[in-house]
């Protein structure tokens, strides 16, 4: 055997220039009158989480009982009403876990149905029913593969033998559940999966399902679940939808049948297959959180749920605390959620690039301004409001050398309440870009904030800093100012400067010109409050112009006049430093 593997590995190395001899295109069902392309999904399907079965069987280290219980509780809290809790005939861990659920009062909510999977083998069916018996609601899930490949290679069975295997299993299930019902009051449901449905002849899948149905005899009140797995995803998702529509329209007594999907993600299109499958008539979807499961995984139920939600359809699953869901699934599965995972990855609400940040921050501002009259979510680049999954807006915008002024300004606004005028955004954006380019890494908000303080001399004063001031009025448009100014560098020391003008700004310009012979004009000026109540502060931004060169200054103080004067000192100190360079 090992010699064979070596040989295959040797022959198969490298991609073929002409793969057409080795790989054949999938032949789908002929369905010229297909209806699904014209439909829209308007309601959530029935969901079944198979995290504890298909997900668990695919883990390098399957969950232990404690982890399974934690996961089960999570699934119940999220709103799942059908949960496949394991493959109890496979291991004592699974069997004991299912018994623990059943035997511990209150663990399984009354409206939750647990289900367990069994191959079509008598002793395994008996053991599975042994595990489930006593649960208020339980689904016995029977499966056997029906495709030609499995018939030929795995089972070496004819079609007839495959059909007989399914019938034998179905009969064994009927017998065993009847027997179990004599001693325990379980409300039994039945599910059959023609495994490898996606690669089977559609008419043969139908034939097997009809045979199982005639044994289980579903009613309107107790429909049978036919779960039609894309055990392996075979082709583009439309081909799966065709198979589902074909099955859904051809199966007899459709009203007594729940058509269920179980898409795997081999081609990366399980989500699309599940959505098109619903258009094609399916009522129910099986999958796992974040797409865990065999190989490339089962369909991701989180993505499916949010795909509905962002079309305005409530999915009947509540992922409000998405961070907690991620934490628990990562801990139990020991597999991390990818940072780019739809809706859930820790980078999916994050923009580093300047034009994205600009559009997002404008979009968020526009949304905030109009949401009371029009709550429709329309923000560039963000299909979901991060608040709906408890994410902080601050996490959306992160800064590196690809970022622009808008993102930086957004962070200063959200983290420090500083609403920078556009021209100052441009100036400081360039400062941040230089800094991050040199650093070659993402900047934290702490670093950006420190850089802002250093650049605009908010913590360590520059050449000129305001110590105190007195303002007096000489009439309606005439003010005199006296400022105590600390000077660093040349002529260092403390001095008092005096001047007058039609307001405090023009008065301080006059005072600086008189005392230090500094001639400049005030360009743009703006101020705003930061915070509210007793702790309110004022932030002032001023542009000073020396000939054609402008420098921005920033001042923050409890007192609004003081913040303006500080902004002037900040600007002229920066000009003095730049002039000295
Ligand atoms: C697509 C899916 O995810 S299906 C679910 C798959 N999950 C699992 O297999 C997890 C748990 N499985 C197990 O623990 C084991 O495989 C068991 C307990 C079920 C069976 O173990 P074993 O008896 O040692 O059999 P083993 O796993 O080696 O091989 C499977 C055998 O069952 C047969 N088989 C496979 N599926 C089925 C089925 N649905 N119904 C009946 N027989 C089946 C195979 O043909 C093979 O038969 P063979 O021994 O005559 O060749
Ligand atoms: C048993 C079935 C439902 C399955 O897991 C699959 O085919 O992928």
Ligand nearest to C-alpha 150: 1
Nearest CA to ligand 2 atom 8: 231
Containing 103, the helix (H) or strand (E) segment is helix 92-103
53 lines ligand 2 (CB under 6 A): no
Instruction: Return all residues near 68 (Cβ < 8 A) that are at least 6 apart.
Output: 52, 56, 85, 86, 93, 97, 332
141 lines ligand 2 (CB under 6 A): no
Question: Mutate which of 115, 116, 117, 298 to test ligand 2's pocket (most atoms within 8 Å of Cβ)?
Answer: 117
pLDDT class of 1 with cuts at 50, 70, 90: very low
Residue 143: which of 96, 94, 81, 197 has the closest Cα?
A: 197
* Residue 331 predicted with pLDDT over 60: yes
pLDDT class of 394 with cuts at 50, 70, 90: low
pLDDT, position 3: 46
Question: Mutate which of 58, 119, 123 to test ligand 1's pocket (most atoms within 8 Å of Cβ)?
Answer: 119
Containing 113, the helix (H) or strand (E) segment is strand 113-119
Q: pLDDT tens, 188-213?
A: 999 999 999 999 999 999 999 999 99
* Residue 407 predicted with pLDDT over 90: no
356, burial (CB in 10 Å: exposed 0-12, middle 13-18, buried 19+): buried
pLDDT, position 8: 55
From the CA of 120, give the closest atom in ligand 1.
Answer: 40
pLDDT, position 393: 55
Distance CA 200, CA 259 (A): 17
Q: Which pTM was predicted?
A: 0.86
Residue 315 CB neighbours (<10 A): 20
262 lines ligand 2 (CB under 6 A): yes
195 lines ligand 2 (CB under 6 A): yes
Residues 270-289: b if buried by 16+ CB within 10 A, e if exposed: bbbbbbbbbbbbbbbbbbbb
Nearest CA to ligand 2 atom 2: 195
What is the Å distance from ligand 1's center to 269 Cα?
Answer: 27
pLDDT, position 2: 47
**Four-point Cα dihedral 227, 232, 233, 234, nearest 10:** -110
pLDDT, position 7: 54
Ligand 1 is surrounded, with C-beta below 6 A, by 54, 57, 87, 89-90, 119-121, 124, 143-144, 154-155, 195, 231, 294
Q: What are phi and psi of 87, to 5 degrees?
A: -125, 75
Mean pLDDT of the chain: 94
Instruction: Give the mean model confidence (pLDDT) for residues 317-346.
Output: 97
Q: Where are the alpha helices (DSSP H) in 440-478?
A: 445-455
* Residue 432 predicted with pLDDT over 90: yes
From the CA of 229, give the closest atom in ligand 2.
Answer: 7
Q: pLDDT tens, 46-70?
A: 999 999 999 999 999 999 999 999 9
From the CA of 57, give the closest atom in ligand 1.
Answer: 10
Distance CA 188, CA 210 (A): 20
pLDDT class of 228 with cuts at 50, 70, 90: very high
pLDDT, position 581: 45
229 lines ligand 2 (CB under 6 A): yes
pLDDT class of 580 with cuts at 50, 70, 90: very low
193 lines ligand 2 (CB under 6 A): yes
231 lines ligand 2 (CB under 6 A): yes
Percent of the residues in the chain that have a pLDDT greater than 90, as a whole number: 86
What is the Å distance from ligand 1's center to 118 Cα?
Answer: 9
DSSP readout, 203-259? HHHHHHHHHHHHHH---SSSPEEEEEEESS--S-HHHHHHHHHHHHHHSSSGGGEEE
54 lines ligand 2 (CB under 6 A): yes
Q: Under the phi-then-psi rule, with left for phi > 0, alpha for psi from -120 to 50, and beta for the rest, what region is 444? A: beta
Angle between helix axes 202-216 and 237-250 (nearest 10 degrees) is 40
Q: Which of 35-44, 112-121, 392-401, 534-543 has the lowest mean pLDDT?
A: 392-401
Ligand nearest to C-alpha 147: 2
Ligand nearest to C-alpha 197: 2
Q: What are phi and psi of 191, to 5 degrees?
A: -135, 135
- Extract the tokens encoding 76: 């119940």
Q: Quick check: helix, strand or coil at residue 515?
A: helix
* Residue 386 predicted with pLDDT over 70: yes
Ligand nearest to C-alpha 84: 2
Supply the ipTM of this predicted assembly. Answer: 0.96
């Amino acid at each position: 055997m090992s010699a064979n593997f070596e040989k295959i590995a040797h022959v198969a190395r490298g991609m073929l220039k002409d793969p057409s001899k080795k790989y054949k295109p999938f032949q789908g069902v002929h369905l010229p009158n297909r209806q699904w392309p014209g439909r829209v999904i308007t309601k959530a399907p029935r969901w079944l989480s198979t995290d504890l079965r298909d997900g668990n069987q695919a883990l390098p280290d399957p969950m232990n009982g404690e982890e399974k219980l934690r996961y089960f509780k999570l699934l119940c809290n999220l709103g799942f009403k059908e949960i496949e809790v394991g493959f109890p005939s496979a291991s004592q861990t699974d069997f004991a876990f299912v018994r623990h659920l059943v035997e511990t009062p209150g663990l399984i909510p009354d409206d939750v149905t647990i289900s367990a999977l069994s191959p079509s083998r008598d002793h395994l069916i008996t053991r599975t029913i042994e595990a489930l018996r006593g649960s208020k609601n339980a689904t016995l899930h029977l499966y056997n593969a029906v495709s030609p490949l499995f018939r030929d290679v795995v089972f070496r069975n004819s079609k007839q033998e495959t059909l007989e295997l399914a019938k034998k299993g179905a009969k064994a299930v009927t017998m065993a559940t009847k027997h179990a019902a004599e001693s325990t009051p379980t409300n039994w449901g039945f599910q059959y999966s023609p495994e490898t449905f996606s690669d089977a002849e559609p008419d043969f899948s139908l034939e097997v399902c009809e045979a199982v149905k005639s044994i289980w005899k579903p009613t309107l009140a107790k429909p049978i679940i036919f779960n039609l797995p894309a055990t392996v995803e075979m082709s583009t998702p439309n081909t799966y939808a065709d198979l589902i529509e074909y099955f859904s329209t051809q199966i007899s007594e459709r009203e007594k049948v729940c058509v269920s999907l179980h898409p795997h993600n081999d081609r990366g299109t399980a989500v699309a297959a599940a959505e098109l499958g619903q258009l094609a008539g399916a009522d129910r979807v099986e999958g796992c959180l974040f797409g865990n499961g065999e190989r490339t995984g089962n369909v991701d139920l989180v993505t499916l749920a949010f795909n509905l939600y962002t079309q305005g359809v409530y999915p009947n699953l509540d992922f409000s605390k998405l961070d907690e869901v991620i934490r628990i699934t990562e801990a139990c599965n020991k597999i991390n959620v990818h940072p780019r995972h739809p809706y859930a990855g820790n980078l999916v609400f994050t923009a580093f690039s300047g034009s994205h940040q600009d559009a997002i921050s404008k979009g968020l501002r526009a949304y905030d301004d109009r949401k009371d009259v029009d709550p429709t979510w329309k923000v560039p680049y963000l299909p979901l409001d991060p608040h709906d999954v408890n994410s902080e807006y601050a996490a959306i915008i992160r800064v590196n050398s690809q970022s622009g002024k808008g993102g930086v300004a957004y962070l200063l606004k959200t983290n420090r309440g500083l609403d920078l005028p556009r021209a100052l955004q441009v100036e400081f954006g360039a400062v941040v870009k230089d800094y991050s380019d040199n650093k070659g890494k993402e900047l934290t908000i702490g670093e950006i904030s420190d850089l802002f303080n250093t650049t605009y001399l908010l913590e360590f004063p520059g050449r000129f800093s305001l110590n105190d001031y007195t303002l007096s009025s000489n009439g309606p448009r005439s003010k005199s100012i006296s400022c105590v100014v600390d000077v660093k560098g040349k002529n260092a020391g403390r001095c008092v400067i005096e001047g007058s003008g039609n307001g405090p700004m023009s008065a301080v310009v006059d005072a600086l010109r008189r005392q230090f012979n500094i001639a400049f004009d005030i360009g743009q000026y703006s101020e705003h409050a930061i915070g509210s109540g007793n702790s309110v502060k004022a932030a002032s931004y001023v542009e000073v112009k020396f000939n054609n060169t402008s420098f921005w200054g920033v001042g923050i103080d409890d007192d609004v006049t003081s913040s303006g004067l500080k902004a002037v000192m900040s600007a002229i100190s920066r000009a003095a430093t730049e002039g000295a360079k």
